[in-house]
Amino acid sequence: MGLIDGHNLDAPAGSMPGLALTSIDWVINVARRNSLWPLTMGLACCAIEMICASAARYDISRFGMEVFRPSPRQADVMIVAGTVTYKMAARVKRIYEQMPEPKYVISMGSCSNSGGIHADSYSVLRGIDKILPVDVYVPGCPPRPEALLHGLMTLQKKIDRQTLRRNKPNYIFENRREGEITPLPPEAAVEIEAARLMGIDLS
């Protein structure tokens, strides 16, 4: 980023107050990283810690993320906080698809990371990453609010590196390039089959 003073250009003095030169990526990233609007996706116990993170003591608004949106159409980041059952997983997926690009997913808690304490259950999805691309995993059962804040800061760092240039690493729409959907991990097939037995279509 460079700064050019208006005076040394040909224009008459005072008509051009100042210019900032920087890359478009930087401007866009700064704008985006400091106003991440999360979608309230509180599913179980972890949601309580998410609410605590937004309340008086932990005050998530210090990071520009206090605007919890109930509607997926206004949200940038989905914090999946809690146990995802097969029955809910289909809904989570649909809500994710309704979010506008670019969108991020934070998986909060062992349950949405991997099934956690309920991993041996017949109705719990073992990891939200089987159906959605996840950007940041926050471990813990439940993670403390500080851990969630750290997760959000990690996401900000990730956004800082992103670029609008196609076919570069860290391309901003890397999760959903044109015509090409991020492939599901190999374990997803097992989960989709298990969900089918529960009467849910996850594919």
Partner 1 sequence: MARRYTQPDVMKRRSDDLDTQELTLNVGPQHPSTHGVLRLVAVTDGEIIKSLEPHIGFLHRGMEKNSEGREYRQLIPLWDRNDYLASMHMDYMVTSAVEALMDVEVPRRAEYIRVIMLELQRIASHLFWFASFALDSGAVTPLFYGLKEREKIIDLFEMASGARLLYNYIRPGGVRADITPEFMEKLSKFIREFPRYLDECEQLYTGNAIFINRARDVGVLTREAAINLGVSGPVLRGSGVAWDLRKDEPYSVYPELKFDIPVGERGDVLDRYEVRFYEMRMATEIVRQAMEGLPEGDFVAKVAVSPKTKAGEVYVRQEAARGEFGCYLVSDGGRKPWRFHVRPGSYLNLGALDAMCRGYLFADLIIILGSIDIVLGDVDK
Partner 2 sequence: MNHVLDQKDFSGLFSENLKFDYEYDPASQILRLDAEHLPELFALLAMDERLAMDYLRDLTAKEQPEGEFHVVYNWVSIEHHHTLMVVAKVPESMEVLSATQYWESANWMEREVWDMFGIRFAGHPDLRRIYLEETVSFFPLRKSFRTLPVENVRDLGGSERELAKARAKAAKAEKEPAGDK
* Contacts with partner 1, residue ranges (CB under 8 A): 40-45, 47-49, 51-52, 55-57, 68, 70, 82-83, 85, 87-88, 91, 95, 117-118, 120-124, 141-142, 144
* Beta-carbon contacts of residue 121 (< 8 Å; ≥ 6 apart): 115
User: How far is it, in rounded angstroms, from Cα 111 to Cα 143?
Assistant: 11
Q: Among the candidate windows 16-24, 43-51, 61-69, 124-132, which touches ligand SF4 by CB under 6 A?
A: 43-51
Residue 146 parent element (H or E): helix 145-160
Q: Which does 110 bind (CB under 5 to 8 A by kind): partner 1, partner 2, ligand SF4, none?
A: ligand SF4
Tell me whether residue 143 is exposed, middle or buried, using C-beta atoms within 10 angstroms of its C-beta: 0 to 12, 13 to 18, 19 or more. buried
CB of 50 to ligand SF4, least distance (A): 10
Sign of CA dihedral 129, 132, 133, 134: negative
User: Phi-psi bin for 115: left (phi > 0), alpha (psi -120 to 50), beta?
Assistant: left
Between CA 24 and CA 28 the distance in angstroms is 6
Supply the minimum distance, in Å, between the C-beta of residue 61 and ligand SF4: 23
- Name the residue nearer to partner 1 (CB basis): 164 or 198: 198
Q: Which entry of partner 1, ligand SF4, partner 2, none binds 57, CB below 5 to 8 A by partner kind?
A: partner 1
Of 46, 60, 65, 75, the one binding ligand SF4 by CB under 6 A: 46
Summarize as ranges the residues that interact with partner 2 (CB under 8 A): 87, 114-115, 119-123, 126, 187, 190-191, 194, 197-200
